[in-house]
Structure 1
């Protein structure tokens, strides 16, 4: 039995060694070049560079609509495509460019705020795009005072 196991092991080693071919002979140089170009293109990404990522409306009267524009430039190597822009609530509505923005070109994202709330209000707009991070965040803030001019701070009790 022992001789059979040894013989089978020797036979297996001989078979495995005889099947070994030179792997470099199977390489196709045109495939290597195509793979290199594909990998280089995959590394090219757009970069969304904003002039400002936060806007302060200052003190506003309650329910007074406000609008601001966030300007950005594609400083990357590939076309920038914004797929979505959402706010943390319905009182803030972002509007973004629908087409591709080529490298070096600029665009604008308009944010409308309806002026609701009271005291210090901060809203976040999340922009989804084909950048490396996948999303960018913008902030707007305002100090909202009531229409009737009443105090919005804590009341002192006597």
Structure 2
């Protein structure tokens, strides 16, 4: 073999060794990004966190459904809901909300006995200890309270 042939042979081997590419060790972005986004613990992602019922007459009963999604990678199970007022009734899913699944928490507000500007918070807690607050507001017109305040 001539020196020139040996030189070509070694050059080709070296260039091929430099192009060594292991399958599965690509530096590209994964095609399925949903699996990357859903890793980690359960996570609330609410469409709205506050709802304003507007002006109500005392005694009106109104409701609003807060829509949310479990944006985490584990099932989300609501274990406890606290609210500051007996005027609220809260309906929530008793079964676990799976990753990527959507659900609602319905808040029913009974304005009987209320007066003026109202701001009511609801704290939601999951089995994993995750806490989230949502709220409802309203301005309640109550003729009985108005008469008491405006007596001359």
TM-score bucket of the superposed structures, by smaller chain: 0.5 to 0.7
2:108 is aligned to 112
CA change 1:62–1:156 in 2 (3 A) is closer
1:137 is aligned to 133
Q: Please give the alpha-carbon distance, in whole angstroms, between the structure 1 residues aligned to 2:109 and 2:87.
A: 6
1:66 is aligned to 62
Q: Please give the alpha-carbon distance, in whole angstroms, between the structure 2 residues aligned to 1:89 and 1:152.
A: 24
TM normalised by structure 2 equals 0.67
Task: Provide structure 1 residue ranges, at least 5 long, that are not aligned to the other structure.
Answer: 1-42
CA change 1:77–1:145 in 2 (3 A) is same
TM normalised by structure 1 equals 0.64
Once the two structures are TM-superposed, the CA of residue 87 in structure 1 deviates from its matched residue by 1.1
Q: Please give the alpha-carbon distance, in whole angstroms, between the structure 2 residues aligned to 1:51 and 1:152.
A: 40
Matches within 5 A, 1:75-114: 75-114=71-110
Matches within 5 A, 1:117-132: 117-130=114-127
Structure 1 outlier segments of 4+, above 2 Å: 150-157
CA change 1:152–1:137 in 2 (3 A) is farther
Q: Please give the alpha-carbon distance, in whole angstroms, between the structure 2 residues aligned to 1:107 and 1:138.
A: 15
Residue-by-residue CA offset, 1:4-40 (whole Å, 9 max, x unaligned): xxxxxxxxxxxxxxxxxxxxxxxxxxxxxxxxxxxxx
Alignment root-mean-square deviation, CA: 2.3
Task: Provide structure 2 residue ranges, at least 5 long, that are not aligned to the other structure.
Answer: 1-38
